[in-house]
Homo-oligomer: A and B are copies of this chain.
Amino acid sequence: MTDLERLTAAVLRFRDERDWKQFHNPKDVALSLLLEAGEVLEIFQWKDPAGVAEAARARKADLADELADVLSYTLLMAHDLGIDLDAALRAKLEKNALKYPVDKAKGSSGKYTDL
Instruction: Decide: A47 and B35 in contact? CB cutoff 8 A.
Output: no
- A19-B106, A34-B38 given; name 19 further pairs at CB < 8 Å: A4-B4, A7-B90, A10-B90, A14-B93, A14-B96, A17-B102, A17-B106, A18-B102, A19-B107, A20-B105, A22-B107, A27-B44, A27-B47, A33-B40, A33-B41, A35-B45, A64-B78, A64-B91, A64-B92
Give the oligomeric copy count: 4
Nearest 6 pairs between A and B by C-beta? A68-B92, A27-B44, A64-B88, A68-B88, A37-B37, A3-B3
Give, as a whole number of angstroms, the nearest-CB distance from A9 to chain B: 11
1/0 per residue, CB under 8 A from B, across A49-69: the answer is 100110110001001110111
